[in-house]
A and B are shown apart, each in its own frame.
Chain A
Amino acid sequence: MVRLGWLLTGSREVGEDIAHDVFLRVEPKWHDITEPVPYLRHSVVNAARSHHRRRGVERRHLPVPPEATVNPQIDEVWSVVGELPKRQRHALVLRFYLDLTVEQVAVQLDCPLGTAKSLIHRGLAQIKERIGQ
């Protein structure tokens, strides 16, 4: 969940905080949850969206610099991902990190199937365009 939060928000610290908050919120009602993983995943996605909304203005003016890895190509792709609109970024993370189907991505993002397809398609197009330059 920390990893998912990180990939969704672009910040490891924020990812850890989101995972932490989600776990604390979920823990009291753990007994009532029949499928913990999807529930937690959905909670993390929602928390990431809330984070983006709260930090929207700041992020537009002061984007969080991506954290570097040791691989330049990975760094480049990660950098491009960091500049994508948040909905596209979320769709790509859910599709290509969690291996969710497009239908599952749509459920996670609370959007129609066509919108999910479009987000993934446009996100991939951005990646191809920026990396191909």
Chain B
Amino acid sequence: MITDKMAEDLLSRTFSTVADQVPPIPPLRWIDARAMRPAERSSLRGRFTAVVRRHRGWTLSIVLVAGVAGAGAGAAASGLFSSSANHVFRHDYAMPLPAAFGQIPAFNPKKEKLEVVDPGPEGTTISVWTYPETSSILCIAGVESKPGKRTSPGKPAAKVSVGGCSGSGSGSQPSGTVPPPQDRKYGADGGIWRGYSGQLFFVRAGNAPAGAKSLVVTLSNGKKITAAVRNGWYAFATTYKLAFGLSGTFYLSNGTAIPGEFAA
């Protein structure tokens, strides 16, 4: 005898299993398009059209990551990372990024650096890691720990929530070196994923304005959450439904608010 609850669980598992066969598509590419000139946007549209129509499976992620946003080759090959962490997020919006499970294959344990650990959903922590893919490409990843635990250096545990690479590449970004700090200070990446309990969460990681020590995020229901900023990086997570229309303010160590708009 199948109960309603069993049928609901079966349906949820079925939908998740089937949907997980579609590889994650890196977020932010429409942000790329929006920031580009019309001619470039047209070109991007054509590229996206061609990609979607002609490619299936992992190729989709790889082409979009490498071709459109110029992400690092290692990250692209992994298929886990989004297009870029180097975008102004004053007005950006990360497209829904379904959970990408697994460790961080593109990261080099000898080079990766743990920047900050902030509270995650369901008793987990979200850790922001950086890794210089090359001298001109910087990758970040937000990693959710196992419940009640923290990730440890060299052994990123559990799931990659969000991530991306910035720097030169073959895509729309200008060639050159690592973007200067003033351009990177608003870099951020966000995604929607399914937590350990099956609930949907919105996770965001990025770097903060100079001197920021904390970020206070106001959710759509008015509730505030605080994320610590360490080494210029932060991360926070909230339930998916409260993420729409959230806003935030960075604060200095003396409690002074840093002017600027933070919106998702």
> What is A's interface to B at a CB cutoff of 8 Å?
1-4, 6-7, 12, 15-17, 19-20, 23-24, 27, 30-31, 34-38, 67, 69, 71, 73-74, 77-78, 81, 92-93, 96-99, 124, 127-128, 131-132
Closest chain B CB from A1 CB (angstroms): 7
Q: Does B245 contact A (CB under 8 A)?
A: yes
Complex Cα spacing A33 to B11, Å: 32
Complex Cα spacing A15 to B53, Å: 11
Contact of A20 among B2, B19, B49 (CB under 8 A): B49
Chain B 93-113: CB-based contact to A (< 8 A → 1; otherwise 0): 101101000000000000000
Find out whether the CB atom of A78 lies under 8 angstroms from the CB atom of B7. no
How many of chain B's residues have a CB under 8 angstroms from any CB in A? 38
Chain B 1-19: CB-based contact to A (< 8 A → 1; otherwise 0): 1111001101111111111
Chain B 25-36: CB-based contact to A (< 8 A → 1; otherwise 0): 100001001100
Please, which residue of chain B has its CB at the minimum distance from the CB of A10?
Answer: B18
Please, which residues of chain B bring their CB within 8 A of the CB of A38? 244
Complex Cα spacing A15 to B17, Å: 16
Complex Cα spacing A122 to B83, Å: 42
Q: Is the interface of B mostly helix, strand, loop or mixed?
A: helix
Complex Cα spacing A73 to B11, Å: 10
Complex Cα spacing A17 to B1, Å: 39
Please, which residue of chain B has its CB at the minimum distance from the CB of A2?
Answer: B22
Question: Can you list 25 pairs linking A and B with CB atoms under 8 Å apart?
Answer: A3-B98, A6-B18, A7-B19, A17-B52, A17-B53, A20-B48, A20-B52, A27-B41, A35-B245, A37-B244, A38-B244, A73-B10, A74-B17, A92-B11, A96-B8, A96-B12, A96-B15, A97-B19, A98-B200, A99-B199, A128-B2, A128-B3, A128-B7, A131-B10, A132-B2
Contact of B22 among A12, A37, A73 (CB under 8 A): A12
Find out whether the CB atom of A127 lies under 8 angstroms from the CB atom of B22. no
Contact of B10 among A30, A35, A77, A99 (CB under 8 A): A77
A69-B18, A78-B18 known; A16+B52 contact, CB < 8 A = yes
Please, which residues of chain A bring their CB within 8 A of the CB of B56? 12, 16
Find out whether the CB atom of A74 lies under 8 angstroms from the CB atom of B7. no
Please, which residues of chain A bring their CB within 8 A of the CB of B3? 128
Q: Does B21 contact A (CB under 8 A)?
A: yes
Find out whether the CB atom of A6 lies under 8 angstroms from the CB atom of B22. yes
Please, which residues of chain B bring their CB within 8 A of the CB of A73? 10
> What is B's interface to A at a CB cutoff of 8 Å?
1-4, 7-8, 10-19, 21-22, 25, 30, 33-34, 41, 45, 48-49, 52-53, 56, 93, 95-96, 98, 199-200, 240, 244-245
Find out whether the CB atom of B22 lies under 8 angstroms from the CB atom of A3. yes
Complex Cα spacing A73 to B9, Å: 12
Please, which residue of chain B has its CB at the minimum distance from the CB of A100?
Answer: B241
Find out whether the CB atom of A124 lies under 8 angstroms from the CB atom of B7. yes
Please, which residues of chain A bring their CB within 8 A of the CB of B1? 132
A2-B25, A96-B11 known; A30+B18 contact, CB < 8 A = no
Complex Cα spacing A3 to B10, Å: 18
Find out whether the CB atom of A1 lies under 8 angstroms from the CB atom of B96. yes
A27-B30, A31-B34, A77-B10 known; A99+B200 contact, CB < 8 A = yes
Please, which residue of chain B has its CB at the minimum distance from the CB of A75?
Answer: B14
Please, which residues of chain B bring their CB within 8 A of the CB of A2? 22, 25
Please, which residues of chain B bring their CB within 8 A of the CB of A24? 45, 49
Closest chain B CB from A99 CB (angstroms): 6
Please, which residues of chain A bring their CB within 8 A of the CB of B22? 2-3, 6, 12, 15
